[in-house]
Chain A
Amino acid sequence: MNKGEYTLQRESEFAWRIDPTGKMRVPGVVYADESLIEGMDDKVFEQLANVASLPGIVQAAYAMPDAHWGYGFPIGGVAAFDPDEGGVVSAGGVGFDISCGVRCLRTGLTVDDIEPHKKKLADQLYKHIPVGVGSTGRIHLNDKGMQGMLRGGARWAVEQGFGNPEDLEHIEERGCMAGADPAEVSDRARKRQQDEMGTLGSGNHYLEVQRVAEIYDRNTAAAFGLQVDDVVIFIHCGSRGLGHQIGTEFLKYMVLAASQHKIELPDRELACAPINSELGQAYLGAMRAGINCALANRQIITHLTREVFADVLPKADLTLLFDVSHNTCKVEAHRVQGGERKLYVHRKGATRAFGPGHPEIPETLRAVGQPVLIGGSMGTESHVLVGTEQGADLSFHSACHGAGRAMSRHQASKQWRGRSLVDELAERGIQIRSPSMRGVAEEAPGAYKDVRAVVDAAEKAGLARKVARLEPHVCVKG
């Protein structure tokens, strides 16, 4: 199949390859079915080819089934770099919303428990959890608090009384990203964050109360503590203003230093620096502090959610299934051509998906594999998947992260009206709360791709296996 100037060779029903041409150092690999590929903008393939041309890239540049064109890297892009081969770290390859991710909480409730209280629950969650543009949290971080948060992540939040120590076991990195260097986080980034802890943000960020509608894999669902009609909560947000500012600043530093590092950028947005350089190390230190900010943020929101449930549905017991980030660069050991190497794996709009037995998975889940949390749109469905063993060879243990946009915000806001959408969804039993009706229109379910086609492709490609499908009942939208 031809997409723009690139020819895609079909490797299997769900894997496509772009052979290296021009400056590409490795092939591009896209995991998707034919109709998803046809629906992808030609820019996705151009961006994938650009990523494949970066120094020190290992094996291939990958695009997940939900790939759509982003800034520099495609969203749904995965690329690993070897520092010993001149490999780079890219601020554009992580994105502005560092460590944006999803966490899933079990509630110990069934749909019958929440049905009579849904409106109150929606109102209380909306009132209690700061959401939307200009919202600030109840916490004002002073210098010491900021320092502690940037180093400690969710562990710091738990020490401050937000949540339980048991939560930490079910967060990537046990809730605290090692190697964070607060000294590399500018005063401006700190200032953007000092009143934003425990806020959801806007755009596609949300908190949803969902029902487990279908189980695909009974044994894994049991290990995850999920049954049909259980109520769970998805929280989708990131590192807020701090991450955005770190991304903004380092993107510029990397663009300006590219020629000094003898890096030819096919697109300025791919701005990067050698891992083994002062700038590369500075970015890694700041980015890891950004990861901690996101982990702390989701931990505080979890605490606020628990407060609401304790008030509205006191018998609820909110326990953490897992917290996984989908905008990161992490150092991981992978086998490449028979040998183990430490690689810097960028996932931009892609989810880490470790298979059974991986030491990074919490002990309680290790036998089955890592939960992979896929957010859909507010009117459709979300999914829980699990990492596979073959994911190691396919995509450095990575899978999709969501449905992916099918049309721009501008198009969506012309096609739908927020108020009518909220009313239509309410008739279907989905309570939406949002400060902006235009924001709701821009996030209309019809503006997104079919998330089921995306997770089906991820499963059939072998990246992750489907465990459960979740339907929204309450959505607090940024």
Chain B
Amino acid sequence: MGLRGYGVTPKEAFEQTGLALTATVTELDSVSPDERVDVECEAPDLELLLVDWINALVYEMATRNMLFSRFAVKLDGNRLSGSAWGEPVQRQKHMPAVEAKGATYTALKVCEQENGGWMAQCVIDV
């Protein structure tokens, strides 16, 4: 499944891909942003950093058994500090459809657009 985020800056586009990731699993509105989880990533370029960001979220979702509905990203060169707010998975409430296995390098792109905004996209395996 493809994730695509748009934003005025790369940081915003990254945050939007976090929302897209949750939307592959459940309705975004059903997830309360109650608990915060922080992640750190580092990669040689923005595209590889996007894969790392999504994979960091997949890992936190899997090991904490959580879903997230709010995201904040700070980009500093090749480093990303991110936060995700969410709650534990509840089968009745969230009815999760699929489990993200990991981000792939397929259709991976982070680029500035003609209107000056940014787009970040990748495909996740579910």
Contacts and interface: CB of A to CB of B under 8 A. Distances in A.
Interface of A: 71-72, 92, 95-97, 132-134, 136, 188, 191-192, 201-203, 241, 244-245, 247-248, 251-252, 255-256, 267-269, 271, 408-410, 413, 435-439, 442, 478
B126 to A, nearest CB: 5
Interface of B: 1, 25, 44, 48, 51-52, 55, 58-59, 62-63, 65, 89, 91, 95-99, 101-106, 108, 123, 125-126
Nearest to B126: A203
A203 B51 contact: no
A344 to B, nearest CB: 21
Nearest to B103: A248
B28 to A, nearest CB: 13
Contacts of B105: 71-72, 92, 251, 255, 267-269, 271
B89 A133 contact: yes
B97 A442 contact: yes
A71 B123 contact: yes
A248 B96 contact: no
Contacts of A408: 1
10 contacts: A96-B101, A97-B101, A132-B91, A134-B89, A202-B96, A248-B55, A267-B105, A435-B95, A436-B98, A442-B97
Contacts of B62: 192, 241, 244
Contacts of A478: 99
A253 B61 CA distance: 22
Contacts of B102: 96, 244-245, 247-248, 251
B97 A438 contact: yes
Would you list the 5 A-B pairs with minimal beta carbon distance, nearest first?
A133-B96, A134-B89, A268-B105, A248-B102, A438-B97
A256 B104 contact: no
A192 B56 CA distance: 12
B1 A71 contact: no
A252 B106 contact: no
Contacts of A442: 97-98
Given A191-B63, A268-B108, A255 B48 contact: yes
A408 B98 CA distance: 13
